[in-house]
Amino acid sequence: MTGPATILATHRRRVASDAVGETYQVDVALPEAWAAARAPGPLPVVYVMDGNTTFGIAAQAARFLQNAGEMPAALVVGVGYELEGPRRERGDYGALRTRDLTPSLDAEFFEKVRADGWAEDIAPPGGADQFLDFLVDELRPFLASRYDVDLGDQTLVGSSLGGLFALHALFNRPGAFQRTVANSPALWWDDRRLFSDEARFATSGQELRGRVFLSVGGLETTPPWNMVEDLQRFARLLRERSYPALSLSRHLFEGESHTSVIPAALARGMREVFADVASGLPSGLASA
């Protein structure tokens, strides 16, 4: 008997968003039974952007970390798009993620990518706030109605434009997520708009609270986007602010590119942001 390979204890759901006007493909990975048994009660939720490409990596990485006691049992949620349905095609993926993960219109970038094809019913870049509304106000209660989740322990994970989005959420909806993993964030977007967002936040009197992990691949220095330099500058800025309730860590993955860094960054990022609650190797369990 043959059939498609699957990841055990996962569910795929369709979630419609009024905030965005899109129906999302939401993949959910439950923790392994023993991990859930060791941590009875509501589960933390880890939202992973670009779920079409990163959900499988994140779900399995989380289980390895749980196996070693380096991360608590958690619900891993990949947020992606229905690319094989009647409305969307696989070629729409780039436009959809750019619409949802960017906080503003980078006109120069948009002109370049629009030439490659941009469906007329997909709005231009700059929809991050609407997508954030979907995650917090629509998807979060949807999950809470179906799983036993901890609404006070929510993690946002993203790479590239997803990393930009995760940091946008940190400054523009503070407190919505308690943990943030931003890998190779596209800090260059719209003339480095995120630096202005941080500067505005720093003078707002609001508290920046949470655990944040920043990372980038050592090879991400190709002009015009030197993502290594941008990340180092941004991390240095956050440390100089000395936000008292912010726990910040960062890592440069030597020898890794913008794409090859993703598996390492997902695993390292989840381990880092959950370091405060990791419980060590479970009794009687051998680590492979």
248, part of any domain = yes
pLDDT at 282: 39
pLDDT at 38: 64
CB < 8 Å & 24+ apart, contacts of 251-257: 251/213, 251/214, 251/215, 252/215, 252/216, 252/217, 252/218, 252/228, 253/215, 253/216, 253/217, 253/218, 254/218, 255/217, 255/218, 255/219, 256/217, 256/218, 256/219, 257/217, 257/219, 257/220
pLDDT at 4: 86
279, part of any domain = no
pLDDT at 285: 32
Output the six-digit token pair for 155. 């993690």
110, part of any domain = yes
pLDDT at 286: 28
48, part of any domain = yes
Q: Are 155 and 178 in contact (CB under 8 A)?
A: yes
176, part of any domain = yes
- If phi over 0 gives left and psi between -120 and 50 gives alpha, with beta otherwise, what is residue 37? alpha
Domain that holds residue 49: 10-273
280, part of any domain = no
Residue 250 sits in a domain whose CATH number is 3.40.50.1820
63, part of any domain = yes
90, part of any domain = yes
Considering its fold, how many domains does the chain have in total?
Answer: 1
pLDDT at 159: 98
pLDDT at 280: 52
- Which residue, 136, 101, 70, 79, is CA-closest to 273? 70
Residue numbers of the chain with a pLDDT score lower than 70: 1, 34-40, 86, 279-288
